[in-house]
Structure 1
Amino acid sequence: MTTDLALLPGWLDATNIISGLGSWAVVGIMLILFAECGLLIGFFLPGDTLLFIAGLSVSTGLIRTDLWLLIVLMVIAAFVGNMVGYGIGRKVGPAVFKRPDAKFLKPEYIEKSNQFFEKHGKIAVVLARFVPVVRTVATVMAGASKMDAKLYTLYSFIGGVLWCGSVAVAGFYLGKIQFVRDHVDLLVLLAVVAVVLATAAPALIHWLQKRKAKQAGRQAPPAL
């Protein structure tokens, strides 16, 4: 079984990773999820595809463990990774962002992140799980912007359960369909795009309504 889109080099292909690790596949999956969810250097790792292929590998017998146990272990890895990333952001983030020579990590980014998490914190933490790169960066930014630790812990756990559970279960059942098995990368990519669009839609609608209201205000005749 191979995936059909060359989105990543062979050594980062989820199928190659799982088959190559053999009996250590579950440990490898947990380490990758931990790195992607908690360490900025892990942003390029194939988390979504890996979860899907992991579920599929259980159904085919390549991974010899119960699906529920695999999901529990993956949730733990993703959750611990997120908490480490949050801790890194909370501890190191402010100092890094306050550096005068910072070109990309500017102080105003923390302020904007703080405002964002105050307004959309709960749903943002959950939905960030489903968006590559964002799930890696968001956890550090949540820590740097001092998002409430209890809230972050709760919704990070909820997001981890939903992310690992839904994608792995989808892989377990949908992976039995030959078309799905032959086009895993494409289908995962489309699913990610759908999540991004669904997440961005409310903000886009709000922006369009606000813009329309401003234009209407400009066109209104002056009061006599």
Structure 2
Amino acid sequence: MQLMSLALAQEPAGGVAGWAVDLVGTMGGPGAGLAIALENLFPPLPSEVILPLTGFAAGQGVLTVASALFWTTLGSVAGAVVLYWIGVLFGRERVHRIWARLPLVKASDLQRTEKWFAKHGTKAVFLGRMVPIFRSLISVPAGVERMPMAVFVMLTTLGSLIWNSVLVMAGYWLGDQWEVVETYVGILSKAVLLLVVVAFAAYVAVRLRGRAPARHRRSS
């Protein structure tokens, strides 16, 4: 198949690219949607590979651009809704029970987070769909906090459509150079992950520093 040979010029057939090309080549738009739905549930499946490849496939006439955007956005919403219901089933009370057992955290921290989500949750869900790593994770707290389903679906659809459009159209325009998209989005993903790790390390350091004087006061 010409699409397979062109798409896999930079990646082995057994890799994620080969799997995505097989799905899109066999099923067309629904295959792209299925791949993106699974990407939401299993973040190690990278959208920066699947979406540009879908755009590349559209450029090769395997499917239309409109079909690519419709099915990938539908897949994004379907995967996000599954994660939302995991958050609903997990429940606020269970989250509080687990939180209470964690070291270096306070109940007030979780309460502040809940207040923040109640105030800024709509922006978090919308913008989070365009941030690597958080694209999937943001759906769970939305479910825990019982964001109205209609609002969640609308925000997820809009945010996903923007993200998907950028990557699909990049793959469409770049053609067999689609892997350039993967490179740059991969760098962005690593930068986001690094910021999260640094922020978490700073949080732990502040907590440990705050506990040290308290232990000193008790011992004296």
Return closer, same or farther for 1:98/1:117 CA change in 2, 3 Å cut-off. closer
What percent of counterpart residues are identical? 24
1:44 counterpart SS class: coil
The alignment status of 1:29 with 2:51, answered yes or no, reads no
Aligned length: 186
For CA contacts below 8 A with separation 6 or more, give which structure has more relative contact order: 1
Uncovered stretches (5+) of structure 2, i.e. residues with no partner: 1-6, 197-220
Residue in 1 that maps onto 2:128: 128
Q: Distance in 2 between matches of 1:144 and 1:185?
A: 32
CA contact (8 A) 2:133 2:189 kept: no
Normalised to the residue count of structure 2, the TM-score between the two structures is 0.68
The alignment status of 1:89 with 2:91, answered yes or no, reads no
State the shift of 1:89 in Å.
0.6
Deviations 1:39-77 (A, max 9, x none): 3xx12221232111110121124xx11110121111111
Q: Distance in 2 between matches of 1:2 and 1:113?
A: 44
Query: Which one of the candidate residues 19, 26, 41 is aligned to 1:17?
Result: 19
CA contact (8 A) 2:125 2:156 kept: yes
* Cα-Cα RMSD: 3.5
CA contact (8 A) 1:43 1:132 kept: no
Q: Distance in 2 between matches of 1:10 and 1:90?
A: 38
Query: Which one of the candidate residues 178, 184, 197 is aligned to 1:181?
Result: 178
State the shift of 1:182 in Å.
5.0
Residue in 2 that maps onto 1:146: 146
Query: Which one of the candidate residues 74, 77, 80 is aligned to 1:79?
Result: 77
Residue in 2 that maps onto 1:218: none
4+ aligned runs moved over 3 Å, structure 1: 1-4, 9-12, 25-28, 98-113, 180-184, 190-194
State the shift of 1:12 in Å.
4.8
Amino acid across the alignment from 1:17 = W
Normalised to the residue count of structure 1, the TM-score between the two structures is 0.67
1:45 counterpart SS class: coil
CA contact (8 A) 2:54 2:168 kept: yes
Return closer, same or farther for 1:69/1:190 CA change in 2, 3 Å cut-off. same
